[in-house]
Chains A and B, each alone.
Chain A
Amino acid sequence: MRWRGRKSSKRVQNESLQPHAAANPDHQPISGSILADLAAVKESIGHNSDVRFREYRFGPDKIPIVVVYVAGLSDKELINDYIVNMLLMDGDGRHINNHELRDYLFDRAMPICELKEASTINSFTSSVMTGAAGLLVEGVAGGFTFGESQVLKRNMEEPPSESMVRGPRIGFIESLSHNTALLRRLAKTDSLAITSYQIGDRAKKEVAIAYISDIVDPKLLEEVKRRITRIKIDALQESGYIEQLIEDDFLSPFPQVQNTERPDRVLAAVLEGRVAIFLDGTPFALIAPVTFNMLLQTPEDYYERWMIGSLIRMLRYLTAFISLFTPAVYISFVSFHQGLIPTKLVFSIAASREGVPFPPLIEVLIMEVSIEILREAGLRLPKAIGQSIGIVGGLIIGEAAVQAGIVSPIMVIVVAVTAITSFSIPQYNAGIALRMLRFIAMFFAAVFGLYGVILFFLLLGAHLVKLKSFGMPYLSPVSPYRVKDWLDMIIRAPLFLMKKRPDQLQTKDQTRK
């Protein structure tokens, strides 16, 4: 009984923090006089057409009760079941006096786990508005709420943003409780801890962080909790909001928190000693801290045998490199260092650029920008049309541009290669980051040639070594060297060699058991 009281008082406190608290008589308690209470509730939310009120009379004393719910949101089956049950029991034929009534309802009439008490009108209405059914009983000070919003959920399907050849075909959905439940089912360990917070000043949303309590570095956990609780925002729409509000450097093009729809990825991360963050209403979970090389890895690297995993991973590093530097290197070769490339290549490039009216930089810009536009256009359209956009853009415009002599054929190859390579980076936002940086690299190359490319590399390096994700150097284990972690960097060593958790995370329990 005491904990209930404490909980409700806490809720009152929370309520007082609300910005519109001053406007409403916030602390108005539910008095127990059903008419007065109902009037207050109606005044607060009765103007909504989807809020329904249904009156019953209960027990031999015909005590008036009112059920308040939101049509379509509340779980009607639950309401029907329990209200009918309650009415049928009819107080066991006893006359229940007012001070027993509350306990009777709690213990006998509505023996459901989700029954909660609301002491003020305000907390009552806010529960109702988020999907619970509210119950007001004559003579009981304080209302009851039960059930939660009927979950509008879809099936757990394979996440479209991270499809894989091999691996579990299941992804998170928009319901937090399902997601955490899914993680628990997979983890099957009692040390998986899930702590939840209510974040958002106007619309409260549940945010949960998951970690393995005897692995995670307590300092990291503290830091994540500190940053989450510090969030001050109206409403969290998507986990991207959290990402942006807890990241280290908002000026960096690189994602400092990883997002994923895959429970296996989250599980692997928490087992390494990272922390996962879930938000209700989005299938995207966040993982922190993140390092640069995580952006180029997929869970599949671990599911396939180590040689395949290593090779594919190396391929991805190569594609990241190509995606970032190819146009810049092309520009510097074509307009600065024609002496470095093979003689025959010089001839064919020179021949293909014959008659092209633009300098290489403009040429690259035209093509790169148009390919970005094509990508964007294809993305937003229905799938069937999206494909035809690809054909029109890629084939027809590309071919026509070459025919018209606006761009050179070799340029088209360069742009196509960079586009494909940037799509092969598993993390969507990392791919975009590289594409953005590619343009900067191109400008450097257009002014300084290869020297500019090196300057860009140094600048990028300088930025990356200064960047941290939750206190962890972004480039580790490359820099600073953590030789132990190199087994799982560019190559993916055989599993029996990876007996240790990542050194960089400074986990409590170093060995994988």
Chain B
Amino acid sequence: MRRCLYVLLFVPLLSGCWSSKPIEELNIIVGSAVDKEEGNKLSSTLQYVVPAALQNNKGGGTAVKPYVNITEKGVSLEPIGWEMTLKKEGFIFGAHQKTIVIASDVAKELNLEELMDLHYRDVDIRGSANVFIAKGRASDTLELSDKSIPAMHINEIANQQLTTRLLKPVTLTDTFAKLESGTSFLMQQIVKTKKGEVKFDGAAIIKGKTGKMIGTFNKKEIEGINWLTGDSKSGTVKAYRSKKEHPVFFQLKTLDSEITPKVINGRISFDVKIKSDGRVAEYWNPHERPAFENKNVRSIEREAEKEVVRLVGNVVKKMQEEYKVDVAGFGSQLRIHYPRLWNEVKGDWDKTFSEAEVTYHADLTIQDYGMIGKKNTQN
């Protein structure tokens, strides 16, 4: 009986370490970019971290770039990866990949689901990596002038979601779920500025059916989307009490939106209710209207509500008329409330949606106005 124990102890010793890969020999990828090349080819840029350089920079030694970008060309991502192993020693290790940037011209031409298949299939790559669309060349966004790691840098901004002008980040898992169910969706768009910085700029619209990019929304329209979906955690909306006056800024604290589908005689319509609590963040106030008076507060609220409805209305109009896609989850609400009807219309939902009528209600409440209730009238 006990002899068994002995035999057991010998088993691992007889074998070996098949899967062991020393950590220092890995090429740890934090970001990748896909670009279009001539002759129907793709080029993929992988961003490797150089840990030693990262460590040295901390110590205050001579600053070395803590990353290396390597680019190869090929017909798809897998052969490009193998090509790279000819160039740099060590395994390509994707488990820490945070950022995937796809050039907009690639996204316009190729089905994303096919392009990203390698990422979905690979067991190492995390589903929580964020996917971005780049205006211009994607590989440029992975090259910054300062010495931080660009891929990490981009990812951190995206995850913070400090403003309503930034879309909720889209992860690998999200894109897969959307593409798999044929739902259209938005992706964050980044662009490299002339100064060598990376900036978030609007969103790319991906049509679920084809998996291709069909257009973009600018920052203003993103605001509309965020108010519509209720995804933002913070941000402001400006309200003009009158054309002559300076704007007042309503800073939101909570945001909640609800899309209710209605079906009357087979005609689908939606009602959007937006509820938000917030505070007055900035109020240039030439007429010395004190915020201590409810009347003034109420009028700011009303103006802000108008602005919200305008923002949301604009973007829905653009979705319905220009792009004819639903990227704000109208369809999913219809599926929940009218599952049988949904089964009939889901085949061509983007088109059906573009004909639906949408009404808006915004309900903003100003809870406080910070430390200042009134301007000093003496000066």
Contact = CB atoms under 8 A, between A and B. Distances in A.
A347 interface: yes
B86 interface: no
Contacts of B131: none
B343 interface: no
Nearest to B19: A336
A352 interface: yes
B357 interface: no
A446 B17 contact: yes
A440 interface: yes
Interface in B151-209: 152
A104 interface: no
Nearest to A455: B12
Contacts of B126: 339
A352 B17 contact: no
Nearest to A462: B5
A82 to B, nearest CB: 58
Contact of B28 (A335, A336, A347, A354): A347
A356 B24 contact: yes
Nearest to B18: A447
B87 interface: no
Interface residues of B, number: 30
Among all A-B residue pairs, the 3 with the closest Cβ atoms: A339-B95, A351-B51, A351-B55
A443 interface: yes
Interface string B117-135: 0000000101000000000
B17 A335 contact: yes
A350 B24 contact: yes
Nearest to B96: A343
Contacts of B54: 347-348, 351
Given A347-B49, A443-B12, 6 more contacts: A251-B5, A335-B20, A348-B55, A351-B52, A351-B55, A449-B20
A254 interface: no
B12 A448 contact: yes
Nearest to A408: B24
Contact of A338 (B23, B55, B152): B23
Interface of B: 2, 5, 8-9, 12-13, 15-17, 19-24, 26, 28, 30, 49, 51-52, 54-55, 93, 95-96, 98, 124, 126, 152
B12 to A, nearest CB: 4
Contacts of B15: 447
A144 interface: no
B23 A349 contact: yes
A334 B22 contact: yes
Given A356-B24, A440-B9, A459-B8, A348 B51 contact: yes
B16 A447 contact: yes
B23 A339 contact: no
Interface in A85-100: none
Interface in A345-379: 346-356, 359-361
6 contacts: A251-B5, A338-B21, A343-B30, A359-B22, A443-B12, A443-B13
**Chain A: interface size category:** 20 to 34
A356 B22 CA distance: 11
Nearest to B24: A353
Contacts of A263: none
Interface string A422-446: 0000000000000000001001101
A353 B52 CA distance: 9
A423 B95 CA distance: 37
Contact of B22 (A346, A351, A360, A463): A360
Contacts of A349: 23
Contacts of B96: 338-339, 343, 346
Contacts of B49: 347
A217 B25 CA distance: 61
A452 interface: yes
A127 B55 CA distance: 76
Nearest to B6: A251
Given A334-B23, A349-B23, A350-B28, A339 B124 contact: yes
Nearest to A456: B12
A350 B26 contact: yes
Given A338-B23, A349-B23, A351-B54, A447 B12 contact: yes
B4 to A, nearest CB: 10
Nearest to B123: A339
B5 A354 contact: no
Nearest to B125: A339
A449 B23 contact: no
B51 A347 contact: yes
Nearest to A451: B19
A354 B95 CA distance: 20
A446 B22 CA distance: 11
A334 B51 CA distance: 14
Contacts of B55: 347-348, 351-352
A336 B20 contact: yes
A346 B8 CA distance: 33
